[in-house]
Amino acid sequence: MTAVDVRGIRETGSAALAWLSARRGDFALGDDALTAEGQVNSTWKPLGELAQVCSSVRLRTPPSDPLHDRAGELLDFAWRQTGHGEMFLSLQRLEPFATYPLEVYSVFAAAGLRHPGYEAAAATVARGRGWRLTEQEPTRRLGVLRAERRSGIQRPEDPAQVLRATWLGGLAEPWAFERSAGYSLTHVVFHLTDWGRDPDGVPPDLAGYLADWLPPWLDTCLDAGLWDLGCELLVVAASLPEPPDPALLRDSWTRIAAARYDSGALPEEEPERGADGTRGPEPDFLHCYHSTLMAVFAAAVTLARLTGDGGPDGHRSGTPLRRRGGQGAAR
């Protein structure tokens, strides 16, 4: 069996997390975070994604792991940026029926960082028809339902019914896979597993479908230099009941490691090279922060799966890779 370079995966994840820590100021909320003209995709979205990944990394790493402490520091930083939750109340007043404030807030709530006043206000809005009838794509709707449950909001809408309306839940023809379908299916798995909290969240038929088709999809994405989507697919691979193929992991992580910059940042996709074959400068923050976050997330869940270490709360990571035929599956 092909050995998996555990040390290389750890180095890639550690370098990516170090870059995120060094660039934490770019995640800070500015004055436009609470204005009607504010750009959510450059304010709340990056901060919420930082919090989500760091919360998941803490979940999947033991306290003795340096990744655990650094992720915790960044999670605390993100919570302070929200005024310890107070800013969500302001967002509620600014956009009463927007779902993104609850989606971001729920990340903190799941990590034990809560604001009772905001939860009460959000629950009041969620009881209205306007909230229930908000038109959303099924994948996004799954995320909103997960956010509600994380925040203590109970409504009768059935996530299983919503799931079957997604690209993955409907078992679309595998040859219909392309970039938007890839991001849809990865986020469906993220929602089903609650970003690592529920290892049994993927239904058996979807798990079997992914076990068959995820390897060629991943290979295609990496061949195309789609590093961000490639990392998301690696998270999915580590979230399935059957452990990932060691040869697939070795090849994928070798390519991811080669794609990152010396700073630890990973571009969303491979940049065009100059006439002399060299890469251009590191992309700006908005074009590499998410892929770098996904590199950290993928490294954490892959390492947890390889070692069988469930993290600080005894969370089960699924079946680890084991020795077969006298060959070491991991080193």
The tens digit of pLDDT for each residue in 26-63 reads 999 998 999 877 789 999 999 999 999 999 999 999 99
Per-residue model confidence (pLDDT) at position 2: 54
Using the predicted structure, report yes or no on whether residue 308 has a pLDDT greater than 80.
no
More confidently predicted of 154 and 222 = 222
Per-residue model confidence (pLDDT) at position 1: 35
The H-assigned helical ranges of the chain are 6-22, 44-60, 66-81, 86-94, 100-110, 116-126, 129-132, 138-150, 159-163, 179-192, 204-223, 227-237, 246-259, 289-307
**Buried b / exposed e across 227-252, counting CB within 10 Å, b at 16+?**
bbbbbbbbbbbbbbeebbbbebbbbb
**pTM of the predicted model as reported, rounded to 2 decimal places:** 0.92
pLDDT band at residue 321, thresholds of 50, 70 and 90?
very low
CA dihedral 55, 57, 59, 64 (to 10 degrees): -120
Using the predicted structure, report yes or no on whether residue 234 has a pLDDT greater than 60.
yes
Per-residue model confidence (pLDDT) at position 273: 76
Using the predicted structure, report yes or no on whether residue 235 has a pLDDT greater than 80.
yes
- The dihedral sign for the CA sequence 260, 180, 284, 68: negative
pLDDT band at residue 155, thresholds of 50, 70 and 90?
confident
Could you tell me if 117 and 91 are in contact, meaning their C-beta atoms sit under 8 angstroms apart? no
Per-residue model confidence (pLDDT) at position 207: 97
Using the predicted structure, report yes or no on whether residue 152 has a pLDDT greater than 70.
yes
CA–CA gap between residue 234 and residue 153 (Å, rounded):
31
Q: Which of 179, 248, 220, 316 is nearest to 5 (CA)?
A: 248
Per-residue model confidence (pLDDT) at position 67: 94
pLDDT tens-digit readout, 245-301: 999 999 999 999 999 999 999 999 998 776 777 788 889 999 999 999 999 999 999
User: What does the pLDDT average to over 22-26?
Assistant: 97
Q: Which of 61-75, 162-176, 193-207, 311-325 has the lowest mean pLDDT?
A: 311-325
316-323 long-range CB contacts below 8 Å, 24 or more apart?
316/199, 317/60, 317/199, 318/199, 318/238, 318/239, 318/240, 318/241, 318/243, 319/241, 319/242, 319/243, 320/243, 321/4, 321/243, 321/244, 321/246
User: What does the pLDDT average to over 76-95?
Assistant: 96
How many Cα neighbours within 13 Å face the side chain of 212? 9
CA–CA gap between residue 152 and residue 121 (Å, rounded):
12
pLDDT band at residue 81, thresholds of 50, 70 and 90?
very high
Q: What percent of the chain has pLDDT over 90?
A: 79
